Structure 1
Amino acid sequence: MRQAHLRGRGPHLPPLDKVRQYDVEPGYVAFTMPVPKRLRVIVGETVVADTVNGVILHESDHIPVYYFPLRDIRTDLMSASGRLTVDPFKGEARYYSLKLGDEVIPDFMWRYAAPGRSGPDIGDHASFDWEKARWFEEDEEIFVHPRDPFRRVDTLPSSRHVEIFLNGELIADSRAAVFLFETGLPTRFYLPLDDVRREFLTASDTRSRCPYKGIASYYHATVKGKHYPDLAWYYPEPVHESAKIKGLVSFANEFVDRVLVDGVEQARPVTSFSHGSDRGAAHPLSTSQ
């Protein structure tokens, strides 16, 4: 029996006490948590939703999703699009298009009016197509998806010796790296540009976004005539939580030959990046190697 006076000790995750698993899919969970942040969704100059009473939906095999109370949404700008989808855990979703003047954004908002199979009751809430709007937590714009409160990012300077090899060449050698530890992902090694053999790198036009780190720019690598597109990246202006990696270069552990830390070879990770990114087009090397 859990004791109330000890609830602040150990893993402090009270919302998980109410999580339901589904008999039809053992291990599958879906639950909501209140969000204390002010959340806004903006299209052009129009604030479509603005709330301090939002919830975040956590669901197995999905990224987290913000849902807004209907009373905090400009529902006067929405009209039913006729699209319906059915989810075994959340029920039936009805979609709505957004009309701003002469512009119509189809299927911009959706709502699960009734829960499915005792799923989370979000019937008086709705959410929006992330890619069709700008999203803000308080006054800071966020990218890709909501920041997951169960995910942690630590950026720690390290004097451990990091060596990276590609096509038989030592392309980076550093004792001044920043190690980035992110829940559920392999350690990333961010190195000063002075510790990277820049003759192998050329700038890429590729950009990507991360809710925990910001907007990344990329480098191609070419070693002994072999081209590796978008093999390395850096954050020119990371979000403040990841400020220590500003301007440092990281290489995709998944695609280089070897990564040594203090002479110990690191296991090659298998991630969504290995097979194509979670969102958007696949990484070029995920299909060429």
Structure 2
Amino acid sequence: MSTRARDLLTAGYGELRHEPLGRRLRARWNGTTVVDTTRGVLLWEPRRILPVYAVPAADVRADLRPGGPALPVPDDVGVRMPALSELRLLPGVPFAVHTAEGRPLDVELDGTVLHQAAYQLDDPQLAGYVAVEFGAFDWLEEDEPVAVHPKDPFHRIEVLAGSRPVRVELDGHVLAESAHPTLLFETLLPVRYYLPVADVRVELVPSATRTGCPYKGEAVYFSPVVDGRERADLAWSYPDPLPESSRVRDLVCFYTERLDVVLDGERQDRPVTPWS
């Protein structure tokens, strides 16, 4: 019996997983190189959605010392999703929350202690390795900076031009309508419809919200004015996207989890995601 590929990808969320990186990896702190290795791996602790880097302890140019007990897993950090049968730890859960057996480590360098910025795992296949907090350092893969979090080799972005008409509605109000959408497909996420600004029918009030994505870049947000009221952060745009997503530059996208989309005359179901 055939198995849906999505189910294979998500079946391992409850397990400790790793994947050799196959490239030079460096971490810097205040200009000082703390990690320099060609033996790094990507590491997913059980239920973690995003990977972190794990490196041989021998390639860490700092003192690693016991860091006290790991933080408990909070009760409210998971979301149950129909396509994913188990609780998932979403982006934003602190690195110091661990779901694999091991010991937190403090990283001490230049007289400064970075508390629980590393984690020594008990898994025999990762003997001698420590996971390292991404946000505590500046990272390079080869000579390219890595932003937001490590990229997942099993995660990809594809941007396609479309001609199927798209209409975006909220509470019966048309927010945008376009015959020239740009469709962004991202692994395990709903398709996103990026529309020309000229096809947006409501006022978009700029928001102070910013988010980062290692595949697309930094997004700026807008609050559409619907029936005289601002609806906070329902739309976003990438004014300076990364090269792989350059085709969505300055286009506007709406959270389809929170409003209605009519595609080619057919009303779509609202997807269920962490942003619902």
Q: How high is the TM-score relative to the length of structure 1?
A: 0.76
Aligned partners of 2:187, 2:70: CA distance in 1, in Å?
35
Local SS of the residue matching 1:190: strand
* Counterpart code for 2:101: G
Greater CA drift, 199-208 or 129-138: 129-138
* Counterpart code for 2:208: D
Contact 2:167–2:176 at 8 Å: present in 1 too?
A: yes
Taking structure 1 as reference, are residues 88 and 218 closer, same or farther at Cα in structure 2, changes over 3 Å only? Answer: closer
1:111 aligns with 2:120: yes
Greater CA drift, 210-219 or 135-144: 135-144
* Counterpart code for 2:236: W
Question: Partner of 2:196 in structure 1?
Answer: 192
Question: Which runs of no fewer than 5 residues in structure 1 stay unpaired?
Answer: 1-10, 22-26, 275-289
Local SS of the residue matching 2:257: coil
Aligned partners of 1:157, 1:89: CA distance in 2, in Å?
41
Question: Partner of 2:206 in structure 1?
Answer: 203
* Counterpart code for 2:109: K
* Counterpart code for 2:228: G
Task: Tell me how many residue pairs correspond in the alignment.
Answer: 243
Higher relative contact order (CA 8 A, sep 6+): 2
Aligned partners of 1:245, 1:89: CA distance in 2, in Å?
37
Aligned partners of 2:24, 2:242: CA distance in 1, in Å?
18
1:52 aligns with 2:52: no
* Counterpart code for 1:238: P
Question: Partner of 1:136 in structure 2?
Answer: 140
| Deviations 1:24-75 (CA, angstroms, capped at 9, x unpaired) | xxx8332322111222222221221122211112455212221111222113
* Counterpart code for 1:66: Y
Aligned partners of 1:33, 1:56: CA distance in 2, in Å?
5
Local SS of the residue matching 2:68: strand
Instruction: Report the Cα offset of residue 201 of structure 1.
Output: 0.7
Q: Which has the larger radius of gyration?
A: 1
Give the share of equivalent positions with the same residue, in percent.
38
Question: Partner of 1:8 in structure 2?
Answer: none
Contact 2:106–2:113 at 8 Å: present in 1 too?
A: no
**Structure 1 ranges of 4+ moved more than 6 A:** 85-89
Question: Which runs of no fewer than 5 residues in structure 2 stay unpaired?
Answer: 73-96
Local SS of the residue matching 2:233: strand
Local SS of the residue matching 2:148: coil
| Deviations 1:66-91 (CA, angstroms, capped at 9, x unpaired) | 11112221134x44333457999742
Instruction: Report the Cα offset of residue 133 of structure 1.
Output: 2.0
1:235 aligns with 2:238: yes
Question: Partner of 1:99 in structure 2?
Answer: 109
Greater CA drift, 182-191 or 47-56: 47-56
Aligned partners of 1:100, 1:229: CA distance in 2, in Å?
43
Aligned partners of 2:252, 2:108: CA distance in 1, in Å?
41
1:167 aligns with 2:171: yes
Taking structure 1 as reference, are residues 228 and 93 closer, same or farther at Cα in structure 2, changes over 3 Å only? Answer: same
Considering fraction of residues, name the structure with more strand. Answer: 1
Considering fraction of residues, name the structure with more helix. Answer: 1
Contact 1:85–1:94 at 8 Å: present in 2 too?
A: no
Taking structure 1 as reference, are residues 30 and 141 closer, same or farther at Cα in structure 2, changes over 3 Å only? Answer: same
Local SS of the residue matching 1:241: helix
Q: How high is the TM-score relative to the length of structure 2?
A: 0.79
Aligned partners of 1:88, 1:192: CA distance in 2, in Å?
43
